[in-house]
Amino acid sequence: MHTLHFIVLCPFLFALFVPLLYKYLTPRVHTGWFVLLVPITLFLYLLRFVPRISEGNNLLRSVPWMPSFNFDFTLYLDGLGLIFGLLITGIGALVILYSIYYMSKHTEALHNFYVYLLLFMGAMLGVVFSDNILLLYVFWELTSISSFLLIAYWYQRERSRYGAQKSMMITIFGGLSMLAGFIMLSMITGTYSIRDMISHVGDITSDSLFIPAMILILLGAFTKSAQFPFSIWLPGAMEAPTPISAYLHSATMVKAGIYLVARFTPVFGGEAEWFWLVSGIGLVTLLYGSLNAVKQTDLKALLAYSTISQLGLIMSLFGVGSAALYFTGSDESSVYAVAVLAAVFHLINHSTFKGALFMVVGIIDHETGTRDIRKLGGLMQIMPVSFTLALIGAFSMAGLPPFNGFLSKEMFFTAMLDASKMSIFNMDTLGALFPAVAWVASVFTFIYCLVLVFKTFRGKYKPERLDKKPHEAPLGMLIPPIVLASLVVGIFFFPNALSKYFLQPASHAVLPGLPENVFAKKISAWHGFNPELIMTVGVVLFGILLYRSRKSWVGLLRRYPEPLTLNSFYALGLERGEEGSRFLTEKYMTGSIRDYIVYTFGFLTLLAGGALLVSNRLSFSSVNNAPITLFEGAIAVALLTASFAVLFAKTRMASIIALGGIGYLVSILFVIFRAPDLALTQMVIETVTTVLFLLCYYHLPKFPKAAGRMPFKPLNLIISLGVGATVTLFALASNGNRMFEPISSYYKNSYELAGAKNIVNAILVDFRGIDTMMEISVLSIAALGVFTLIKLNLDRGGKNEETK
């Protein structure tokens, strides 16, 4: 096992021991202290690769998995994967430390919590390190399943179950769409490797499957990263415990779609369709999330919509940056490549300030018993440390100095202004929308950041509305957000160290066709008086003005008709889908065996018979057939006569005798064809079957005399003739379209191969000996089961008699 494989599999392996640790150590020690060792170890180990990756020495490791299908366990570590790996393990370590103080070891099922968390951590590491697209898909769906379990952790709550169901349905839909896109890419390129696909970009863009593959893969990315209109699952997922929200919905799971877009930008970037879909959907999501965040009264709901908004910002930057591939080889590419650098930068910044904010909100909920902004206020003096952390995180998200969000927000404005000046992709007419939407969304972002801080910590203290008497959180719960808040401030003062070792290698992985010096842009807080500064000043001024008059206009946002919301459409779709499936099921699940046989045989006739006719394989040759003798013809006529007798018999006895006659006539055919063993077997089975039929029907009521003749049912005739014709035509077609030598020629040498003079015995005992042994085992097990049931019934009957 290679190093990268150990990193990915370590969380899965450790998850096996969590139940044992919980069972034997929980009364004395919180299980999280042992789980904490996993992300810390992996984080420190990944740090060892930073110098190597920053020098451009990427790591590739592969282990054969299914070589016949060209499916290897191939992992690849470059600048982009390293950033995500450090976020997954670093934020994961802080979240687990936070959960040790947040999750009670006495009332919570911690073994489930940490098993699900480790499964998710391993799945996310697998997603960001996978080079094989099928392997990536396996881990991708594992993230959906493990996040479903985490969101539904408090499964006793109806809203938790509903939120988990919604997230899983939407993300699984996107995952299946993504898989279809992956299959199309593999059909075009003949490979499952992402690196190899990048070298076949010309073949991909010229193929007719280019657009379908791109749209399907983007569906996977948009659903996972909560882009419009799939963003409705993220607010519902806030029903999970706060540590889960801080981990999944700020730093990791919701970034998986961002990662997918970044990883496949070298494949699809430089094309107008990719540019407009990624940047356009990103900007719409940015505006949608910021508008909805302003009107929320629940702190976690506010953070949920703010996360949607920030994800849209990052997505739009990757879309704008993809235009650099259109200008590959020219100086103009460096102008738009900066957008990718800004996207990676804001991705890191968002993980730091949003993780801190989620943890602070969890502290507020934990210490006051509520997240309702209308009940909160005046907590600044009571919880000063939490207030300071909230201030740092919120002002960074608002894009104010001296916090890291200010730097990436300024780069975001620069990218949008540069995009408006593009001369391609019809940007000369629509480009002005980019900076306009970015500025308006930033204004509302500034407003909800002010709401988050001042409506919670300033104002009048309302102890009568709180479920608990608030106090500052314990030190252990404060350490994780303090670490993240320190990074928020530290990155602002030392952004270029981060850029050299992390941002530039990751940006080069997204745009590998550009020179590395394109991304060597110095990041600073001051650029002089420029349009970006004017936009920032406008955001602050208009934001303060609108915040102070918020009561007069926020009601307008809440007046949007509820039936026209995305959640209403989702709920209506679920309801109509359930009604439709129930109606359809009631139509065909009638409880009648006859109906089920009609469905089965009718489908067989239409599908198999239709395929036979369409494929033009219906041919028959009688050249090599043996002649039909008088005896064989007479037996065939007798078989037909007996078959009609079964249909038209007026008593069950006559029908059973005619059915038995068919079996005995078949055994005579075996005798004529010189297969005495088969004839003997057929006669024994037919005798036993006939006796059993007679025994069963003896206890059934007789045909009523008043019933007369059975009614004629045309559908029965059609189905029976269709099945008979289909089977007959298939037999004739297979006999007339032999693509290979018949297998019977191999068994002719049974004496030399198995020492047996009887071919049938040799097949059953030697060539298919294991199969025959398994069939005998199945019959033996069934016989034991029947005997056990009879024995149990007899014993129970005896006991009942004794009690009487």
Residues 607 and 492 grouped into a single domain: no
The values of phi and psi at residue 203, to 5°, are -65, -35
pLDDT of residue 803: 47
Q: Is residue 351 included in any domain, yes or no?
A: yes
**Amino acid type, 739:** M
pLDDT of residue 804: 45
213: number of Cβ within 10 Å = 25
First to last CA, the chain: 68
The values of phi and psi at residue 581, to 5°, are -65, -40
Q: Are 601 and 719 in contact (CB under 8 A)?
A: yes
The values of phi and psi at residue 64, to 5°, are -60, 135
Distance, in Å, from the CA atom of 474 to the CA atom of 455, rounded to the nearest integer, reads 23
Distance, in Å, from the CA atom of 787 to the CA atom of 77, rounded to the nearest integer, reads 60
Residues 551 and 686 grouped into a single domain: no
pLDDT of residue 800: 52
Q: How far is CA 138 from CA 95, 124, 224, 248, in A?
A: 25, 11, 14, 18
Residues 6+ apart with CB under 8 A from 760: 675, 677, 678
Q: Is residue 527 included in any domain, yes or no?
A: yes
Q: Are 259 and 271 in contact (CB under 8 A)?
A: no
Residues 472 and 609 grouped into a single domain: no
Residues 6+ apart with CB under 8 A from 519: 337, 338, 340, 341, 499, 503, 504, 507, 508
How many structural domains is the chain composed of?
2
Please classify residue 355 by burial: count the beta carbons closer than 10 Å to its beta carbon, then call 0-12 exposed, 13-18 middle and 19+ buried.
Answer: buried
Residues 6+ apart with CB under 8 A from 692: none
Q: Is residue 145 included in any domain, yes or no?
A: no
> b/e map of 525-559 (b: 16 or more CB within 10 Å)?
eeeeeeebeebbeebbebbeebbeebeeeeeeeee
Residues 6+ apart with CB under 8 A from 537: none
Residues 533 and 603 grouped into a single domain: no
For residue 424, what are its two tokens?
């391609």
Q: Are 261 and 285 in contact (CB under 8 A)?
A: no
Q: Is residue 602 included in any domain, yes or no?
A: yes
Residues 522 and 667 grouped into a single domain: no
Nearest to 291 by CA among 368, 231, 381, 207: 231
353: number of Cβ within 10 Å = 29
Distance, in Å, from the CA atom of 89 to the CA atom of 38, rounded to the nearest integer, reads 8
Q: Which residues pair with 372 in a beta bridge?
A: 298
- The residue among 687, 705, 739 that closes a domain is 739
Average confidence (pLDDT) per 10 residues, the chain, 804 residues: 86 92 80 92 94 90 81 90 95 94 82 92 95 94 93 89 92 95 93 91 90 96 93 89 86 89 93 94 95 92 94 95 84 84 95 94 90 89 93 95 93 93 85 94 95 90 83 90 95 92 93 84 86 93 93 85 84 89 87 86 87 75 74 88 84 85 90 83 89 80 59 82 87 74 74 75 79 88 89 64 48
- The residue among 542, 558, 574 that closes a domain is 558
- Model confidence, pTM: 0.81
Supply the CATH number for residue 634's domain: 1.20.120
Residues 546 and 603 grouped into a single domain: no
Q: Are 115 and 72 in contact (CB under 8 A)?
A: no
Nearest to 748 by CA among 728, 769, 762: 762
Dihedral sign from CA coordinates of 278, 280, 281, 285? positive
Q: Are 339 and 419 in contact (CB under 8 A)?
A: yes
Residues 528 and 644 grouped into a single domain: no
The values of phi and psi at residue 74, to 5°, are -105, 125
Residues 723 and 613 grouped into a single domain: yes
Residues 602 and 493 grouped into a single domain: no
For residue 714, what are its two tokens?
């045309």
CA-only gyration radius of the chain, Å: 35
Q: Are 505 and 53 in contact (CB under 8 A)?
A: yes
- The residue among 719, 739, 759 that closes a domain is 739
Residues 519 and 608 grouped into a single domain: no
For residue 418, give the H/E element and its range: helix 404-420
Q: Is residue 152 included in any domain, yes or no?
A: no
Sequential DSSP letters for 65-134? EEGGGTEEEEEEE-HHHHHHHHHHHHHHHHHHHHHHHHS-TTTS-HHHHHHHHHHHHHHHHHHHHB-BHH
421: number of Cβ within 10 Å = 13
Q: Find where tokens 């009487």 sit.
A: 804
Which domain, by its residues, includes 734?
Answer: 593-739
pLDDT of residue 745: 74
Residues 529 and 635 grouped into a single domain: no
Q: Are 23 and 41 in contact (CB under 8 A)?
A: no
Distance, in Å, from the CA atom of 776 to the CA atom of 394, rounded to the nearest integer, reads 71
For residue 20, give the H/E element and its range: helix 18-25
Please classify residue 760 by burial: count the beta carbons closer than 10 Å to its beta carbon, then call 0-12 exposed, 13-18 middle and 19+ buried.
Answer: middle
Q: Is residue 732 included in any domain, yes or no?
A: yes
Q: Is residue 35 included in any domain, yes or no?
A: no
Distance, in Å, from the CA atom of 257 to the CA atom of 116, rounded to the nearest integer, reads 20
Q: Is residue 181 included in any domain, yes or no?
A: no
- Residue pLDDT, tens place only, 241-254: 889 988 987 778 88
pLDDT of residue 713: 79
Residues 671 and 719 grouped into a single domain: yes
